[in-house]
Chain A
Amino acid sequence: MGKRVAIVGYGQTYQRSSRKDVNGVELINEAVVTALADAELTIRDIDAIVIGNMDHFEGINYVDMWSAEGSGAVMKPVIKVCTGGTTGTTVAMCAYYHVASGMFNKVLAIGWEKNSESDTTGAIITAFHPVWERPTLGGAVAGLAIEASKYMHNYGATERDGARVAVRERLHALNNPYAHLHQEWMKGIPPEKLVDLIVGSEQNAMLAYPLRMSDMCPRTDGAAAVIFAAEGSAEKIAPVPAWVHATANRHNFVYAGDVDMDRNTTIAEASKAVFKKAGVKEPLKEIDVCELYLPYSYAGLKWIEDIGFCAYGEGPRLLWDGVTDMDGELPINPSGGVMSSNAIGATALIRVGEAALQVMGKAGPRQVKGGNVNLALATGFGGCYWGDVMLLGKKKPA
């Protein structure tokens, strides 16, 4: 049996549309320094580093090597892992396994992205198969639009349901100083009214039916770093460590045509594996808060069904009942989520870091349940429906 592992430190840069004042290595350094300060550690305390991003997004090959002087990897073990949009959670899982293996005591996980420096859609298109798919498929939006319209068809969901998710994410982001999008005008307006305004707005451009501008995530510059430590050290570093209770992932698709547009089967399978390991039987009741990688609004309806928070088609009801709002039974994305900040290589790691903050009671204005969070769920999504899931908890796992 391996070591039990906890998150003991978290740092992120302010997520912004463009960080012209720093290069990539300097941006990474900001997140690392912030995470170290959070844990009251120095780089000398760190035994290994895990980093990731997508090469074509910044035009940087071998990011682990290139960033060494900023990440702290000089004369340290460093590994690069990459799985697309899930990279952040993949980095977190890799850091977890580093520590759980007993080979390393304290490990730094880093995710980052400078979307402002490239043509994100141009880069995303290169994720498709060069011979069979690239000539015809068009980046991220169209694929998600197909999924959304299929969900609407299957379960009778409406554009208003999608907009309700967007409203939640943007309202939550107002509590998060690190979030990229702060739509201050929304403050104080009831969600129903905001949904009316969004759906009825002529300025809200239709990108690919049913997805409008308001349904999508932004392009962001940002970085994040999370410190994992082994039992024995973790308790000494953090007053309330966020213990990793279970983690799992699935990726069952090679060609875009393989994707099951009816259900998100990889998130479903990975969630099932995590709940089994952690002994979670009733996710909605037992989990206190979620930080989910929801890159667009309809994912906030459908994927919460796949995770197992409600039956198929019941996602919209949970949203309209306020169950997933800050003061609901299961607050989802108190940080404002991916739809409020999306520095892609960092995004999924931010989910893990934010979930850890909730467990540690350090989430400030975006803290839910008065800090009384026992279990927090984080997910990553990407790479043609790659699905990563990590469950964190206040109690040290058995």
Chain B
Amino acid sequence: MTDWKDKVENMVYSGRIKVPYLWNVGKTGSRFLIAIRDNKEIWGTRCPGCGRVYVPPVKTCGECFVPTTEWVKVSDTGVLESFTVVHYSYEMQPRKAPLAYGLIKLDGADGAILHLIGDTDFAKLKTGMKVKAVFAEERVGSIADIKHFTPA
């Protein structure tokens, strides 16, 4: 028995969802981004419960569920806790592959920050190495005002 489906051409309807968004950073995050933009300084918030310093800052500590109360300036250098070198490219990536991401625990912070790693030979990356923030020349108040981190 022949199935009529075998003879039907497969139609494909291609589309794209495009909805514009304006994500509000909030006062806490705004203060963090402004300090980077205006002074090339990185600040975090400290939880009064567990004492953790979060970078990027949080308004509420997720562990203790209490508002953070104190702003702490942290170093622009830190330890590379983990990294990956990515070998594929998609349009959401700001750079062409290969590109590298790192989780960086800045000196004075407890939580690590996710960022790009650049200006270096990726083959030489090692966990535990010291890395330093490289600030963008033109800063607009976004996380990309830190261009990337590079071995210190």
Do A and B come from the same complex?
A: yes
Residue on A nearest B21 in the bound complex, by CB: A59
Verify A70–B60 contact, CB threshold 8 A.
yes
Least CB distance from A26 to B in Å reads 5
A100-130 to B contact mask, C-beta < 8 Å, 1/0: 0000000000000010111100110010001
Closest 9 CB pairs of A and B: A69-B62, A23-B26, A59-B21, A74-B62, A43-B65, A22-B26, A122-B19, A131-B13, A118-B21
Check if B23 sits within 8 Å of A29, measured CB to CB: no
> Which A residues are CB-close (under 8 A) to B62?
68-70, 74
Query: Quick check: B19 and A126 within 8 Å, CB to CB?
Result: yes
Q: How many residues in A have their beta carbons less than 8 Å from beta carbons of B?
A: 30
Other A-B pairs beyond A74-B65, A130-B15, 5, CB < 8 Å = A20-B24, A21-B24, A58-B21, A69-B61, A134-B15
Contact, CB under 8 Å: B25 / A23:
yes
- Chain B residues with CB under 8 Å of A20's CB are 24
CB distance from B121 to the nearest CB of A (A): 35
CA distance A26 to B28 in the complex (A): 10
Is the CB of B29 closer than 8 A to any CB of chain A? yes
Task: Tell me the B25-39 residues at the A interface (CB within 8 Å).
Answer: 25-29
A-B contact pairs, 19 of them (CB 8 A): A20-B24, A21-B24, A22-B27, A22-B59, A23-B23, A23-B26, A42-B65, A56-B17, A59-B21, A68-B62, A69-B58, A69-B60, A72-B65, A116-B22, A116-B24, A122-B20, A123-B19, A130-B13, A130-B15
Give Cα A134–Cα B16 distance, bound, in whole angstroms. 11
Cβ-based interface call for A263 (8 A)? no
Alpha-carbon distance A130/B11, docked complex (angstroms): 13
Q: How far is the CB of B20 from chain A (nearest CB, A)?
A: 6
Closest residue of A by beta carbon distance from B54: A69
Complex CA–CA separation, A119 to B23 (angstroms): 12
In the assembled complex, how far is the CB of residue B150 from the closest CB belonging to chain A, in whole angstroms? 29
Inter-subunit contact B24/A22 (CB<8 Å): yes
Q: For the complex, is A272 an interface residue (Cβ under 8 Å from B)?
A: no
Q: How large is the interface on B (under 10, 10 to 19, 20 to 34, 35 or more residues)?
A: 20 to 34
What's the least CB distance linking A202 to chain B, in Å? Answer: 32
CB of B24 within 8 A of CB of A117, answer yes
Task: Please determine whether B65 and A114 come into contact, CB atoms closer than 8 angstroms.
Answer: no
A150 on the B face (CB < 8 A) = no
What residues of chain A have their CB less than 8 Å away from a CB belonging to chain B?
18-24, 26, 29, 42-43, 56, 58-59, 68-70, 72, 74, 114, 116-119, 122-123, 126, 130-131, 134
Do the beta carbons of B58 and A23 come within 8 Å of each other?
no
Q: Does B63 contact A (CB under 8 A)?
A: yes
For residue A277, give the distance in angstroms from its CB to the closest CB of chain B: 36
Q: Report which of A18, A43, A114, A126 forms a contact with B17, defined as CB distance below 8 A.
A: A126
Q: With a CB–CB cut-off of 8 A, which chain A residues contact B22?
A: 116-118
Which residues on the B side are within 8 Å of A22 (C-beta)?
Answer: 24, 26-27, 59
A26 touches B20 (CB 8 A): no
In the complex, A43→B28 CA distance in Å?
A: 22
Bound complex: CA A117 to CA B61 (Å): 24
User: CB distance B59 to A26 under 8 Å?
Assistant: yes
Q: Which residue of A lies closest to B65 (CB)?
A: A43
How long is the Cα–Cα vector from A116 to B22 in the complex, in angstroms? Answer: 8
A29 touches B59 (CB 8 A): yes
CB distance from B58 to the nearest CB of A (A): 6
Given contacts A21-B26, A134-B15, contact A117 B59 (CB under 8 A): no
Cβ–Cβ contact B59 & A19, under 8 A: no
**Chain B residue contacts of A134, Cβ below 8 A:** 15
**Considering the chains assembled together, what is the distance between the CA atoms of A343 and B20 in angstroms?**
18
CA distance A56 to B16 in the complex (A): 13
> Across the interface, do A23 and B29 meet the contact criterion of CB distance under 8 Å?
yes
Closest Cβ–Cβ distance, residue B77 to chain A (whole Å): 26
Task: For B11, give the chain A residue with the smallest CB separation.
Answer: A131
